[in-house]
Amino acid sequence: MILSIARRELRALFHSPLVWVLAGVLQLLGAWLFLVQLEEYLQVQSRLATLENPPGVTDLVLTPLLEALAGLALLVVPLLTMRTLSEEFRDGTIDLLLSSPLRMGQIVLGKYLALLSLLSLLCLLLALMPLSLLLGGEIDTGRLASGLLGLLLLLGCCAGIGIYLSSLTRQPAVAAISTYGALLFLWIVNLAGGEGGGPLFDWLSLSSHYRRLLDGLVFSSDIAYYLLVTGVSLTLAGRRLESRRLQG
């Protein structure tokens, strides 16, 4: 059931030009950033060699690239999640799902799974660029893996939030804008609380957990944070579908 829903969702995504354009634009911007970082690295490389413990290509190319990609992801995810449920409400196609022998959780999970596979695919495409450095040099694959895991967790988390916000409205545009708002807020919430940030704001922020993963530090608490936010969002989306039946 979940897979059937995910499959239709993916089909709908790939039938629309939106995904192709997004993938293209994302790849182009990613490539540009990658090349800019790489060029900078090559310029300072000779001077770095004189240092005793020089930062490597991973520090100077990959980490900034992944950091920038996370910013791009915040721009991309709301566009992908906005139609998931709101379009079904608007077109009345939700009636097909509601009159079928399905649990609300299955509907939400199916949608989430489709988005997650699409986002993983985008991640994979972007990961090919830093991996191409392996042809001519050495990179810290462990750190790259941790960074990519972070990116994937971040994207999955954003998708969960996007699906929940999409379940609140019939207008995809409203869903997109509120998702932008929510994601950007969670991204910058750690700026509050003065220098160093309060521990609560720091914990709430999407970005502080991501940064640790970029540094190659894989804490179960960071992974738990992303999974928790995703789980709560999806549960809320399921509850929302239930309560829509009561409100009419």
**Binding stretches for other proteins (CB under 8 A):** 1, 4-5, 8, 11-12, 15-16, 91-103, 245-246, 248
Query: C-beta of 4: minimal distance to other proteins in Å?
Result: 4
Give Cβ neighbours of residue 1 (< 8 Å, ≥ 6 apart): 102, 106, 110
What is the SS3 assignment for 160?
Answer: helix
Query: C-beta of 1: minimal distance to other proteins in Å?
Result: 7
- By beta-carbon proximity to other proteins, the closer residue of 1 and 134 is 1
Q: What is the DSSP letter of 167?
A: T
Burial of 23 (0-12, 13-18, 19+ CB in 10 A): middle
- By beta-carbon proximity to other proteins, the closer residue of 16 and 45 is 16
Residue from 142, 158, 167 nearest 62 by CA:
142
Q: ∠208-212-216 over CA atoms, to 5°?
A: 160
Query: C-beta of 235: minimal distance to other proteins in Å?
Result: 19
- By beta-carbon proximity to other proteins, the closer residue of 97 and 182 is 97
Query: C-beta of 139: minimal distance to other proteins in Å?
Result: 41
> What residue spans of 49-138 are helical by DSSP H?
57, 63-81, 86-91, 94-98, 104-132
58, 209 Cβ separation under 8 angstroms: no
- By beta-carbon proximity to other proteins, the closer residue of 88 and 222 is 88
Query: C-beta of 31: minimal distance to other proteins in Å?
Result: 30
Q: What is the spatial distance between Cα 231 and Cα 7, in angstroms, rounded to a whole number?
A: 21
Give Cβ neighbours of residue 234 (< 8 Å, ≥ 6 apart): 105, 108, 109, 112, 160, 163, 164
Query: C-beta of 100: minimal distance to other proteins in Å?
Result: 4
- By beta-carbon proximity to other proteins, the closer residue of 91 and 138 is 91
- By beta-carbon proximity to other proteins, the closer residue of 47 and 245 is 245
